[in-house]
Chain A
């Protein structure tokens, strides 16, 4: 079965996963890199131009070597210096990593890039593309040989809970026994779902937003029944926000803020 992420279990027993890159993004990154090599070649030809006036032979020899060095060495050097990223990969937020989650070794960078010659056959990376489509870890042949995978290097930030929860009155607070019961009955998955709905609410279609929070609030209302005076006038969305506040922020002082 095709995996969508690379799961790594560390010797300490910690499990983490990295999302695998798809063939289309990789192909786009490659086209950017191809453009980079072409641009670099044009620049090199311009810089070396005056040399041709002194010796045409030497000028053409150096250009031939620069072309091969750029076309073969660009990706190797970039991936080694920039931790598995070329300009194209950086632009599309991709990164080459060791398939065990370890740091890339120089020989891995060399081998995966040399095997491009086979992956690129017969044209436009058809062999490599087929391997990415068919392989479990979306690896081209060079990745298989070098023990590498290409992952999506998404920027990760902590969610801003302060903006979401702080500074708002929570009418459900003040019933300690019901709060405790709520925390006891809400599962981590339910709590995460509610928090995620709140974090993404501005991106939802208005009708879908109303329906979603109606369903979630209804579920929480069935778990614990708060006195009518504390829930009167609360919209479903406010109810869910208050539940999330109770579940994720257990300190009493949070209620007063």
Chain B
């Protein structure tokens, strides 16, 4: 049996056209919410078009009509079966205050691994500098390697003029954009089954460890922590969270002890990846502001004790937020 196309088209056209119109309206406004009557009607029209497609596929194989019906059913299927967040906008505040700490705690293992990779790098960097002073130019960034701690501290403490006057906001923006790019890389390299993320975290750790060893070895611990802690107390966890996201992605790719297929594993972590990235961006924006407006001012302009206390308070607040905010999992 072959379908009578005339009759088939005449019977189906009104409902297909109505379905198309409703889909056009929905697609023109992503936040559009439907009433119960509209949802019921949309669902009916979708089932009707799906049934027409099934009937057509069985009794005819004319590709134009089949393509038209497939495209229509595909559009409607996406609308009818997909879950979307309620409301017109994604609630950023809710995302950061509730979803983000929950996502962080859900993947605490990945965060610990990110911390371990960074710590291993820090130990390596510190040890390299202590055991082989000639490695200084290799493990430290060029601008720090060329400037011995004692000379820098003496210079910074002797200059009372505001060196960032007129460039402070730009400096803050540059720090934010640079750190954002590093964090995105940290996450994105999770696609290398985590190897790239771990390497990036390790390298960050090497630099951090070498800087700490350099300044501590020269007896300038106060300067070091006064310089690093105000922004580092937020910036370093932010990069670790980006690394955590990368390792979560890697975990889903590897799927160790997880019976779900790869696509299902990835689907299960995508929401958490997006949430962790949003948290990371918010933390980096704050760290950029602090680094430009506070970290670059040293004693006697801003006492080291005050800067260290500020950094410690930030770190404690962040730890408390990540540990407690958002409540228990529903």
Contact = CB atoms under 8 A, between A and B. Distances in A.
Interface of A: 8, 10-18, 55-58, 60-62, 64-65, 67-68, 72, 80-81, 83, 97-99, 101-103, 105-108, 110-111, 114-118, 141, 144-147, 154, 156-159, 161, 183, 186, 188-189, 191-192, 195-196, 199, 247-251, 254
Contacts of A62: 173
B4 A248 contact: yes
B45 interface: no
A251 B73 contact: no
Given A156-B71, A158-B68, A57 B169 contact: yes
Nearest 5 A/B pairs, CB to CB: A107-B274, A103-B82, A61-B173, A61-B169, A16-B70
Given A57-B169, A114-B188, A144-B266, A156 B4 contact: no
Contacts of B314: none
Given A16-B77, A17-B70, A141-B191, A106 B61 contact: no
A8 B274 contact: no
Interface of B: 1-7, 9, 13, 27, 30, 47, 50, 53-54, 57, 59-65, 67-74, 77-79, 81-85, 90, 166-170, 172-174, 176-177, 180-181, 184-185, 187-192, 196, 249, 263, 266-267, 270-271, 273-275, 277
A188 B1 CA distance: 8
Nearest to A109: B274
A167 B177 CA distance: 68
B5 A10 contact: no
A207 B235 CA distance: 72
Contacts of B13: 158
Contacts of A81: 30
A199 B64 contact: yes
Nearest to A83: B27
Given A14-B54, A65-B173, A110 B82 contact: no
A97 B78 CA distance: 9
Contact of B62 (A10, A72, A196): A196
Contacts of A67: 177
6 contacts: A14-B73, A61-B173, A156-B68, A156-B71, A157-B64, A191-B60
Contact of B184 (A13, A114, A188): A114
Given A159-B65, A188-B59, A105 B73 contact: no
B191 A118 contact: yes
A251 B6 contact: yes
A85 B105 CA distance: 34
B64 A159 contact: yes
Contacts of A17: 70
B188 A57 contact: no
B2 A102 contact: no
A158 B65 contact: yes
A12 B61 CA distance: 20
B78 to A, nearest CB: 4
Nearest to B5: A248
A111 B273 contact: yes
A114 B270 contact: no
Given A101-B78, A106-B85, A72 B263 contact: no
B263 A147 contact: yes
A12 B30 contact: no
Contacts of B189: 118
A159 B84 CA distance: 35
Nearest to B29: A81
B2 A158 contact: no
Given A58-B169, A107-B271, A251 B7 contact: yes
A247 B54 CA distance: 20
A102 B65 contact: no
A107 B275 contact: yes
A192 B61 contact: yes
Contacts of A199: 64
The CB with the most chain B CB atoms within 10 A, among A81, A158, A186, is that of A158
Given A158-B68, A248-B5, 10 more contacts: A10-B77, A10-B81, A58-B169, A58-B170, A60-B173, A102-B78, A111-B277, A154-B67, A158-B64, A196-B62
B77 A8 contact: yes
A99 B185 CA distance: 24
Nearest to B196: A118
Contacts of B192: 118
Given A64-B177, A83-B27, A103-B78, A12 B50 contact: yes
Contacts of B9: 158, 161
Given A114-B188, A118-B188, A158-B13, A195 B62 contact: yes
Contacts of B266: 144-147
Given A14-B53, A248-B2, A111 B61 contact: no
B198 to A, nearest CB: 15
B71 A154 contact: yes
A110 B277 contact: yes
A11 B277 contact: no
Contacts of B90: 106
Contacts of B1: 183
B71 A161 contact: no
Contacts of A146: 266, 270
